[in-house]
Amino acid sequence: KHIIAIVPAAGIGSRMGAEIPKQYLQLNEQSILGHTLDCLLSHPSIEKVIVALNPEDEFFTSLPQAKHPKLQAVVGGKERADSVLSALMLAGEDSWVLVHDAARPCLAHLDIDKLIASADTFSQGAILAAPVRDTMKRSNAQGLITETVCRENLWHALTPQFFPAHSLRQNLSDALAAGAVITDEASAMEWAGIAPGIVTGRADNIKVTHPDDLQLASLFLNSAAQ
């Protein structure tokens, strides 16, 4: 299998509310995106890493990884799915892609291995996910609980998400053209009637979204380094 990583990194991090896009914030010894790229670039099964950047990006070329021979950069789009689609244009027809958020710097090689190995079972593709731990509630617009949602078979969708490049490209572009709301790769496959597999991933593979996630990510990275 030819395996290519795609890293959507074109967002502006509005929920983080920092001066700069969150993927360029310092986390321990380097940037968030630097950690993410190091993990993917150092994985022996990954042939190439395609990173999708904001057209106004001012920071990428200063990263120590920017000139890595396995790395390629493309201009991303308005939504995350547009960024992924523009990177997919550079993925070979017969390759498989691991799509991984720039904002998830705590990814472990063992989780990548597990996901790649799952393709023996899930020929349609699969995603990393973590089981929901808390009791789940649905509320109404007034903030009152209307329902307890059964936790069984409920998951947090993580990344990487692993799919054949040609089928993801087709389904993602069709779903976007149809106006579907697509927040991850699996939802584009689901839109096309395909049921992706679930591979249990580590709960520390968090997405840095709000300021308090930085401390947590820092802690996870330090404990992984020991």
The answer to whether the CB of 107 falls within 8 A of the CB of 39 is yes
Beta strands in the chain (DSSP E): 3-9, 26-27, 30-31, 46-53, 71-75, 96-99, 126-131, 136-139, 145-149, 155-164, 197-200
Q: Which of residues 19-48 bind ligand CTP (CB under 6 A)?
A: 23
Token pair of 105, please? Answer: 């710097």
Binding-site partner at residue 100 among Mg ion, ligand CTP, none, CB < 5 to 8 Å by type: none
Report in angstroms the alpha-carbon separations of 207 from 106, 211, 220.
9, 11, 12
Q: Which of residues 103-122 bind ligand CTP (CB under 6 A)?
A: 103
Nearer Cβ to ligand CTP, position 90 or 122?
Answer: 90
Residues paired with 51 in a beta bridge: 7, 73
Binding string, residues 127-166; x marks residues near ligand CTP by CB under 6 A? ----------------------------------------
- Residues in binding contact with ligand CTP, number by CB under 6 A: 21
Tell me which of 4, 52, 115, 172 binds ligand CTP, using CB under 6 A: 52
* Binding residues vs ligand CTP (CB under 6 A): 8-15, 23, 52, 76-80, 83, 101-103, 207, 209
